[in-house]
Structure 1
Amino acid sequence: MSYRLASWVAGTAVALSACASLQPVQTAQKMAGSPESSVRETFGAPTEVYKLADGTTRWIYSHQPLGYEVYAADFDGNGRLVNFRQMLTEKEIYEARPGVWTKRDVAERFGLPREPVQYYPLMKREAWSYRLYAAGYQPAHFSVYFDDQGVLDRTMIIVDSYGGDRRRR
């Protein structure tokens, strides 16, 4: 292989990798129906893998604790990509069901927390926290609180007033 061709192939690989990291949802939507191996080649190894109750498999790609994204890649029973989305959105968060969901349900949806888990003894509640952009641009923290049986008690979004507004950057 000539030096020029090798350089072009390397440059193309870098460009495709940059696209996948800068616009992962758009990149993955074009990959619908692709096998798990293609998704792994494009996005790397997932941070977590869950077998869901409906027989699908979910790969979590967490950018926590310093990033603001958690992506989920869902695969059908044949290992083909059927869905890829950003999980830390208000739409996803508002689907949480206090009194019903457990720690496992939250982990399957948002991944395990990457920030230290807190326990509040007076409330008798364990708290997991995730960073996100509230309303699409305002840095915030999404917290979930579990009772001592591990059942979701409540959720909360707290805007980070010191985090700035990414529209002004």
Structure 2
Amino acid sequence: MKRLLAYLCTVLAALGISACDYFKLRELQPGVSTATEVRDRFGVPEMEWTNADGSVTWEFSRQPEGIECFMITLGADNILRRVDQVLDEQSFARVVNGLNGDEVRRLLGKPARSQFFALKQETVWEWKISHGFAGSSEPVFFTVSFNTDGRVVGTSRYTQYRR
């Protein structure tokens, strides 16, 4: 069964579909699965945050080529509480002017890219959020702009059209 799953993941990855996470997530159960089981399936997290209630949230970003970022929360007892895919409309709406980079990273995970625009004196972080829509293969990105004080001054989206 594992050999079949590995083969399926390889085929889907070649097609640009990240279905392996789907199978990994199906194997995890909130309230039952342990931190060790999460690490066995997802590896070492990109970032780790300690929450006020003693729980911990691990970040597993699929950027720059993927379109997902999983925030996996484990209780103080090292039992899985929940899994959130944070590159969604609800999370984007929580990015408001005045947040700093750490707060944005906590909401959306590691960005795919970051670049500084000298004329505007802004740094822009971007996350790939779609491989394309309805027959189109042009990726879509969500961006967050920061001023020189490191505070959010705006958000936007763009489609990367191919020539």
Q: Highest CA radius of gyration, 1 or 2?
A: 1
3-state DSSP of counterpart to 1:82: strand
3-state DSSP of counterpart to 2:59: strand
Partner of 1:46: 45
Partner of 1:5: none
Find runs of 4+ consecutive structure 1 residues off by over 4 angstroms.
15-20, 134-138
Whether contact under 8 Å (1:25, 1:86) holds in the other structure is: no
Summarize the Cα distance change of 1:155–1:135 in structure 2 as closer, same or farther, 3 Å threshold: farther
Summarize the Cα distance change of 1:83–1:114 in structure 2 as closer, same or farther, 3 Å threshold: same
1:119 has 2:108 as partner: no
C-alpha distance in 1 between matches for 2:79 and 2:133: 29
Identity of aligned pairs, percent?
23
Partner of 1:145: 145
Count of aligned positions: 149
C-alpha distance in 2 between matches for 1:109 and 1:72: 9
How much has 1:56 moved relative to structure 2?
3.0
1:13 has 2:2 as partner: yes
3-state DSSP of counterpart to 1:23: helix
Give 1:154's aligned amino acid: G
1:57 has 2:56 as partner: yes
Whether contact under 8 Å (1:128, 1:144) holds in the other structure is: yes
How much has 1:112 moved relative to structure 2?
2.2
User: TM-score when scaled to structure 1?
Assistant: 0.73
Partner of 2:106: 108
Summarize the Cα distance change of 1:134–1:94 in structure 2 as closer, same or farther, 3 Å threshold: farther
* Structure 1, unpaired ranges of 5+: 1-11, 164-169
- In the alignment, which of 115, 125, 128 is matched to residue 131 of structure 1? 128
Whether contact under 8 Å (1:90, 1:134) holds in the other structure is: no
Partner of 1:35: 34
1:95 has 2:103 as partner: no
Partner of 1:84: 83
* Structure 2, unpaired ranges of 5+: 10-17
3-state DSSP of counterpart to 1:88: coil
C-alpha distance in 1 between matches for 2:74 and 2:148: 33
Whether contact under 8 Å (1:21, 1:43) holds in the other structure is: no
Deviates further, 50-59 or 76-85: 50-59
Summarize the Cα distance change of 1:102–1:25 in structure 2 as closer, same or farther, 3 Å threshold: farther
Whether contact under 8 Å (2:132, 2:140) holds in the other structure is: no
C-alpha distance in 2 between matches for 1:136 and 1:149: 36
C-alpha distance in 2 between matches for 1:42 and 1:25: 6
Partner of 1:7: none
Whether contact under 8 Å (1:131, 1:140) holds in the other structure is: yes
